[in-house]
Amino acid sequence: MHEFDGEEDEGAGGKEVLIGRGALGTCVPGALASTAVSHTSPTCRPEADTVCLDVTALSHGPDGVARHEGSVVFVPGVAPGDHVHARLVATHRRFARAEVVSLIPGPAHRTPPCPWVASCGGCPWQQVAYPAQLQAKATNVRETLARVGGVTPRRALPILAAPDEWHYRRRIRLHVDRRGVLGYRQARSHRVVEIDDCVIADATLVAALPLARRLVRSLRTRLATLELLVNGRGTVVMHAVADGPFAEGDAGVLADLLAGATTIAGIALEGRDWRHDAGDVHVVVRPDDRESIPQRPEVFSQVNAEANHALVATVRAFTGPASRVLDLFCGSGNLSLPLARDGHRVLGVDADAAAIDAARAAATANGLQSRFEAIPALRFLRQQGLADADLVLLDPPRAGAAEEVVQLGRLRPRRILYVSCDPATLARDAKVLVGAGYTVDRVQPLDLFPQTPHVEIVLEAVVAID
């Protein structure tokens, strides 16, 4: 998954996905694990603008799901099993939104540890017990594949939990508003919420927040975003994207901050046609316990290093005996290099030249026989086909690989491993592969993003015997 194409992106404040069907046969947002009904009890007395609801599912977005008078209602800050007295705040033809007035917590409800959870859009499932989060993600994957793609895998494997549900993020992206406030975006808003802590960020990054605010206040260059990354050597790299030109005098500001901050290894600033580095801006990514990849901070990497090890192990296990692998959207080699270490002949393809440079350097440093080409995946397939590969691995951005899977359907490799961070686009693309004569064999969901609706998936498609 190429998370920083627009996720997340720090968060889960996005829209629910339109996939189910409502009472009148119209599409409604969210894949529902079960049907919810209106609830009235002595403790909930509905008034003119309030309703009583039973929450029985989590949507693909940040909210819980209930029904009222046949309509789907999305409610933030709840868990399946909660009985909610809620006020309707928006009513649409196909669904409604509500806010909690009061609730009787169900068995899956817990107290969120973050004081900003109600305003920050980063991790809206904190109030949901972790086993219930896993169940909801597994259900959403299964139902989305069936409803959007018409796909039922031969083997639907149980979801793999993250090693730790807190403090797992090795990189966080913060936004800077026009007043210089640094923080996360509020859910469904461009408002920036300033934070002093983050319960899903690595403690090293949290400790760097005061220095990050100092950097924003000190620079004359106007910043749009500031990313903090653990560099793999015990310190932090800052990576900022600016709205305009690099201001004269800011080179001295960066040098002064680095001179007085032993926890910050380097700062990278970039604009539309310029880049300025101060200190050592490289971060080291370790896909497993064998490989290490030094790369620039703007190059994609998975935010959850420990859970990424499980993703790499899953892809290695699915790949099986030694084969010729074409890795599309390979990035800096997160999957390519471990497969090359296993003895596979790997050709990695990615449009990001900086990522390919990192992959090539890491392959050379680790003594691995693998090739990498800086070219968009679709162009490669059209010009070079499968390049003699018998297995194609692809890990596209959240938008999926609509055109690439059409081309793969024509080229017909024996097996395809598709790594995705979006069930809906994966289901869409899997439907195309099935139409081209493939069978979906295995599907493995993995939780790389606890406290959010996001989920990683590995899908194996095998060409049917002619």
Question: Could you tell me whether strands 456-463 and 415-420 are parallel, antiparallel, or unpaired per DSSP bridges?
Answer: antiparallel
Residue 421 vs residues 71, 188, 398: alpha-carbon distances, Å = 29, 20, 6
209 is written with which tokens?
């927040």
Residue 400: CB atoms within 10 Å: 22
User: Mean of the pLDDT values across residues 99-113?
Assistant: 96
Task: Give the model's pLDDT for residue 272.
Answer: 94
Joined together, the tokens standing for residue 26 give: 């119209």
Q: Does 123 participate in catalysis according to the annotation?
A: no
Q: Is the pLDDT of residue 304 over 70?
A: yes
pLDDT at 28: 29
Contacts 24+ apart (CB under 8 A), 246-252: 246/221, 246/271, 246/274, 246/276, 247/219, 247/220, 247/221, 248/220, 249/220, 250/219, 250/220, 250/221, 250/276, 251/276, 251/278
Half-sphere exposure of 232 (CA within 13 A, CB side): 22
For position 454, what pLDDT does the model report?
97
Q: Grade residue 188 by pLDDT with cuts at 50, 70 and 90.
A: confident
121 has a pLDDT exceeding 50 = yes
Cβ count near 189 (within 10 Å): 11
pLDDT, average across residues 323-333: 97
Rounded-to-10 torsion of CA 211, 169, 424, 319 = 140
Residue 7 has pLDDT above 80, yes or no: no
pLDDT value, residue 118? 87
Rounded mean pLDDT of the chain? 90
Please give the structure tokens belonging to residue 363.
């392959």
Lowest mean pLDDT among 206-210, 445-449, 461-465: 461-465
pTM score, whole prediction:
0.90
Every domain of the chain and the residues it spans: 11-108, 134-164+303-463, 171-284
Catalytic residue among 44, 114, 198, 421: 421
Between these two residues, 303 and 61, which has the higher pLDDT value?
303
Query: Average pLDDT of 320-331?
Result: 94
* Residue bearing tokens 């408002």: 191
- Assess contact for 454 and 121: CB atoms under 8 A: no
Nearest to 72 by CA among 55, 47, 84, 50: 55
Say yes or no: domain 134-164+303-463 is CATH 3.10.450.50: no
Calculate mean pLDDT across residues 353-360. Answer: 98
Q: What percent of the chain has pLDDT over 70?
A: 90
CATH of domain 171-284: 2.40.50.1070
User: Mean per-residue pLDDT for 260-265?
Assistant: 95
Q: Can you give the pLDDT at residue 464?
A: 85
Instruction: Examine the pLDDT at 2 and tell me if it is beyond 80.
Output: no
Confidence of residue 44 (pLDDT cuts 50, 70, 90): confident
270-299 average pLDDT score: 97
Q: Render 163-174 in DSSP notation, one character per residue.
A: S-SSS-BSEEEE
pLDDT at position 110 over 80: yes
Whole-angstrom distance, CA of residue 364 vs CA of residue 367: 5
List b or e across 345-363, with b for residues whose CB sees 16 or more CB atoms inside 10 angstroms.
bbbbbbebebbbbbbbbbb
Output the 3-class SS for 32-58: CCCCCCECCECCECCCCCEEEEECCEE
Residue 25's pLDDT is what? Answer: 26
pLDDT of residue 47: 74
pLDDT, one tens digit per residue, over 277-290 is 999 999 999 999 99
Q: Cβ neighbours of residue 259 under 8 Å, at least 6 residues apart?
A: none
Confidence of residue 466 (pLDDT cuts 50, 70, 90): low
Encode pLDDT of 192-225 as tens digits.
Answer: 999 999 999 999 999 999 999 999 999 999 999 9
**Predicted confidence band at 43 (pLDDT cuts at 50, 70, 90)?**
low
Q: Of all residues in the chain, what percent carry a pLDDT higher than 90?
A: 83
How do residues 138-151 score in pLDDT, each as one tens digit? 999 999 999 999 99
Same fold, 134-164+303-463 and 171-284: no
pLDDT at 11 over 90: no
Give CATH for domain 11-108: 2.40.50.140
Task: Count the neighbouring beta carbons within 10 Å of the beta carbon of residue 314.
Answer: 21
At residue 6, the pLDDT reads: 37
Side chain identity, residue 426: L
Say if residue 253's pLDDT is above 70: yes
Q: Give the residue-averaged pLDDT of 6-22.
A: 38
Region 298-327 average pLDDT: 96
Residue 14 has pLDDT above 70, yes or no: no
* Highest averaged pLDDT of the listed ranges 36-40, 115-119, 385-389: 385-389
